[in-house]
Structure 1
Amino acid sequence: MSEERLLSKKKPAFPVSSALASYLEKYNRQIEIPVFYDDLLRFQGSIAVHDKDGEDTLWVRVYFSDFDREEIDLSLKQVYSILHSDGSDRILEFLNIDAVDYCTFGNSKPFRVKVRNILNDNYTYLYIKKTDASRIYGLELEHMLSPYNLNFLVYKDTLIEEHIAGIPGDVFIKDYLPDCSAREQAQLAKEFVKFNERCMIRLLGDMRAYNYVIVPTHDFDHVEYKIRAIDFDQQCFEGKLKVYRPQFFKENFRMVELVSERLKQESVDQYQIEERSIIAKRFKSTADRVRELIEIAEKDSISLDKNILRLREEVYEITHDMTFRKCETMGEILKAVLDFVIRNYEDMNPKG
């Protein structure tokens, strides 16, 4: 199935409800910041950004007038301090804004800001986007139900996200995977199975290869790989269950091949059970906060009626659980999926 048929043509941005805003404030995600997304749209010009091979990255480097540049640079340094430090001005003199890039590709049209420490030349990125409720749910669920913590801030219509380091999946598949050993390929296959399961359970869609990164970690005499999502626009929106399973995107075909080549079906089943169990354990360890978020999502509008109707039927066909047919929102479907996974985990681990 092609991605054009798999995904809707355009996903709308959903506003942050008062209940979600209160949740964000409670958990220190909502805080006043000195710059808005629209401020960065005042750029005066731009040039295309190319990679080391001369290929267009679909990002453009933007330039501001001298008057705007001074104000924006200071504001971006303050945002960095709020996101990564104590929010004070003490570190501002040691920071430099090396570049501001803008991406016209995709739904979020983010700005990417390169912030460098002038004392040691270390640098990192932060991303500035328009606020979208479904994206915020995706970030929070990633923070609580995946192996990784995420740092982000929301203020009115602006969302600030920290950079998630790693090798973009499409780049890794093209440039690095051919040189991986048989053992490394088997380990990547395992991680893809677990990643596929994790996305499906928490209804994170559109994990095409350029929407996740491969993170290599050197461990004694070998390299371990992990897979991390970096794009959360398609949290709980689409009606097709396949959208929430990375294995069905053509960009991931080589990873699916790895699973077939390197893993027996018994191993695939084992890794799926492992991931479900891990998610159930994470849910139980952060139950109050997760349930609070999902209760808000249950009442929120973050999808279309036709998508909700289709998804609840497709999940019912797999689980035969009548709960799904009673769901009226995407939040209710998400809750039903998580409850289904937790029940199965508790049935297998009655003392767990």
Structure 2
Amino acid sequence: MDLVRHLECFVVVAEESHFGRAAARLGMAQPPLSQRIQRLERELGVRLFERSSRRVAITKAGTLLLDEARELLSRSEALMATARRIRDGESGLLRAALPPDIAGETVAAILAEFRDRLPGVELELRELSTAQQLVQFSVRELDVGLVQHPCDISGLELGPVLRREVGVLLPRGAPAAELDEVSLAALSGYDLILFPRTNAPALHDDILITCAGNGFTPATVRHGEGATFIRGLLLSVHAVAFGPRDTHLALAADQDPDLAWRPLTDAPLDWRHSVARPTGRGDTAVSVFTEAATHALRNAAPVTAAVPRPLHLRPTAEYWL
């Protein structure tokens, strides 16, 4: 027996005190309605209505059960609504990831917008490189993430490509720091500090190829991730580093007497990101995270006019930050 449906019939008959009107309200014929009430009475072991040819009256037992029936129906509706929100990604847990170079203000903006729009969803935000995200996607431990291109995007669906202009961080006393823009060729003789290749192998190699093609072959490639560690290398080993204007170290360089950030001439480098999700995972929570990340990155980065470069598997929708 469908208890919820039978209770709904009971409540409507009690409110209408008439089987014909109750049947019309429920969108069913009167005989099946009478049969449901009779079956519910058998299941409960009590008589719910006194019937005559002219009227239907609820019994004392029916009156005592009516409030509980209404409460059960209300709880059933709440349960179904919660199930729909979970199904549509409006409730539950979203496991999301951002790469380490995203500035704290951008992270905060993403969290704030997501929380405002979906307060019922717990956002578990992780700091993961692109390579780490791809591994977690493959074992279904990640629902959505911001990946850097180029990378292997098989099995993933992508949001729009977000382009962040990359400049160079260098000691403020370096000759190139006196320029408004720095060409890659002007960095000849410097070591280069890059993220570890394991974080994003294709991007790592793409950067070195672009540098070589524009007259800069680093004497040594050094690897670092933390802002403090990179700053130490910049100040002690005759090295430079690349990064968008909105990264931690680039923002700090404005107030740092020892470091400077300068745009690169003709913008030969850019960081390209997309929000990625497993194919078929397009629920509300993923969509809201995608929009929040897009808004936060667009607000954090200046518009650039760099020449587009192809992605590993290029999405159809791209625009510049």
Q: What is the TM-score with the length of structure 2 in the denominator?
A: 0.21
Larger Rg: 2
Name which structure has the greater RCO, CA cutoff 8 Å, separation 6+: 2
Q: What is the TM-score with the length of structure 1 in the denominator?
A: 0.20
